[in-house]
Amino acid sequence: MSNPALTTASVALDPTFENVWDELLWRGLVHVSTDQEALRALLAGDPITYYCGFDPTAPSLHLGNLVQLLLLRRLQLAGHKPLGLVGGSTGLIGDPRPTAERTLNTRETVEEWVGRLRAQVERFLSFEGENAARMVNNLDWTAPMSAIDFLREIGKHYRVGTMLKKDAVAARLNSDAGISYTEFSYQILQGMDFLELYRLYGCVLQTGGSDQWGNLTSGTDLIHRVEGVSAHAIGTPLITNSDGTKFGKSEGNAIWLDAEMCSPYRMYQFWLGTTDADVVDRLKVFTFLTRAEIEEYAALVESEPFRRAAQKRLALEVCVTVHGAEATAAVIAASEALFGQGDLSALDAATLRTALEELPNATVAAGTPVAEALVATGLVSSVSEARRAISQGGVSLDGERVADDSATVQGSLPGGVSVLRRGKKTLAGVFLG
């Protein structure tokens, strides 16, 4: 097997599958859909136009959205024509959350976030060739429409009883918070988007998370009622860990695709931490590795789990996809050097600093004794414990073992920082200030 630190998979479909639909099924990307046989035939035929929407309810997309971005790309590689929709109008409302009303952001904030999300979506699509991607904003057709026109032309096709049965609406109706008419109307707006894209571009397929199924079918039903044609939807599974916990999120610590909100180093470490039980499924969903390659990694998980070859390849592939090869190479170098397999002094200063920010860290004055820095970073609980660790040879500073407790921190690494290590694996960053 090639060295995963040097080689990434090509961004291409697996040629061993007869139809892209079959590859989507194998990768576990279809949790729910409209008629499967019709979809299989549709995707095997002439190019179709399809879309996925992203609402600007935050300044960045996250790993959950990455599932959709890669699905858009897979279908484009099969020859189909993608529309990337950023919801300038639906972002002003937000789809219903399970327990509470969304905080409405200002128009200026939403407009700014539309631009940021649009740039992120564009990185995953090709805008050249016969099936070039196109970006759209639903504010373009929603803003000119009056409330009366909206109710007469779109609202008349919806039945309240059906709308009340949608999972997201039903959950809120049964909660203490209830649901406002604003969020209740979201499914109509998303349905109108699909209808408008069908009329403008002949769009006949929408993809989204399975938790959006009620909104996806809102559009297919509307197109059938108004235009008398069949449109389709694919709902991808919500990605969860094997232990049932949420994937890619923790308290205030989501894995964002924006490097300023989540450093490439942090993203790389996140993927490295994937459990053996989850890593093969993650390779299927988040990489373009072929079935044969993934099966090879699955065998390595079974035979040599201690090497974590699958996790390293997963981290490499996703980070290259999201942040590019250059940033990923810098992150891998920093990761290896921090854990004793490379030269700390040769690292890129910016990458090293962001990596240290993810570790326990402290800011101290230049010349601070190492013993005090150990306490400040939390690697030990007291100066006496620090001195004892130093005397036992268990402390290193910037890759060199600390010989006595008179040593001081000077920030000798690129960017004027230092790395403290206690034992083999316990690290901390030191910034001078």
* Confidence label for 201 from pLDDT (cuts 50, 70 and 90): very high
d(CA 327, CA 314): 16
CB 420, CB 356: distance < 8 Å: no
Does residue 370 carry a pLDDT above 70? yes
Mean pLDDT of the chain: 93
Q: Which of 195, 203, 251, 250 is nearest to 226 (CA)?
A: 195
More confidently predicted of 376 and 252 = 376
Statement: residue 254 has pLDDT above 60 = yes
Pick the range with the lowest mean pLDDT from 16-20, 108-112, 346-350: 346-350
Q: What is the mean pLDDT of residues 216-233?
A: 97
Closest CA to 43 of 131, 124, 123, 128: 131
pLDDT for the residue numbered 381: 95
In DSSP notation, 150-211 reads HHHHTGGG--HHHHHHSHHHHHHHTSSS---HHHHTHHHHHHHHHHHHHHHH-EEEEEEEGG
**What CATH number does the domain located at 29-236 have?**
3.40.50.620
**pLDDT score recorded for residue 165:** 85
Task: Round to whole Å and give the CA distance between 271 and 103.
Answer: 31
Q: Are strands 49-54 and 81-86 parallel, antiparallel or unpaired?
A: parallel
- Do residues 367 and 408 lie in contact, with contact meaning Cβ atoms separated by under 8 Å? yes
pLDDT of residue 134: 98
Buried b (16+ CB within 10 A) or exposed e, 387-400: bebbeeeebbbbbe
Q: What is the mean pLDDT of residues 184-189?
A: 91
* Confidence band of 252 (pLDDT split at 50, 70, 90): low
Query: Per mean pLDDT, which of 95-104, 128-137, 169-178 is the most reliable?
Result: 128-137
Distance in angstroms (rounded) separating the CA atoms of residues 182 and 194: 19
Is the CB of residue 243 less than 8 Å from the CB of residue 268?
no
Rounded distance, CA 366 to CA 411, Å?
7
- Mean pLDDT in residue range 339-365: 92
User: Which CATH number among 3.10.290.10, 3.90.79.10, 3.40.800.20, 3.90.25.10 corresponds to the domain 349-433?
Assistant: 3.10.290.10
Closest CA to 138 of 213, 215, 70: 215
Determine the average pLDDT of the residues in 250-269: 87
**For position 250, what pLDDT does the model report?**
54
pLDDT score of 177: 78
Higher pLDDT, 273 or 245: 273
Report yes or no: 220 and 194 within 8 Å, Cβ to Cβ.
yes
Question: pTM value?
Answer: 0.91
What is the pLDDT at residue 111? Answer: 96
Residue 203's pLDDT is 98
Which pLDDT value is given to residue 194?
98
Task: Domain ranges for the chain, please list them.
Answer: 29-236, 349-433
Predicted local distance difference test score (pLDDT) of residue 253: 66
pLDDT at 2: 45
Question: Which of the residue ranges 94-103, 214-223, 225-234 would you say has the lowest mean pLDDT?
Answer: 94-103
Give me the mean pLDDT over the 112-138 stretch: 97
pLDDT of the residue at 433: 86
Distances, alpha carbon 365 to alpha carbons 79, 175, 249, 387, 412, in Å: 59, 53, 35, 19, 13
Same fold, 29-236 and 349-433: no
Residue pair 309/280 in contact by the 8 Å Cβ criterion: no
The more confident residue out of 407 and 101 is 407
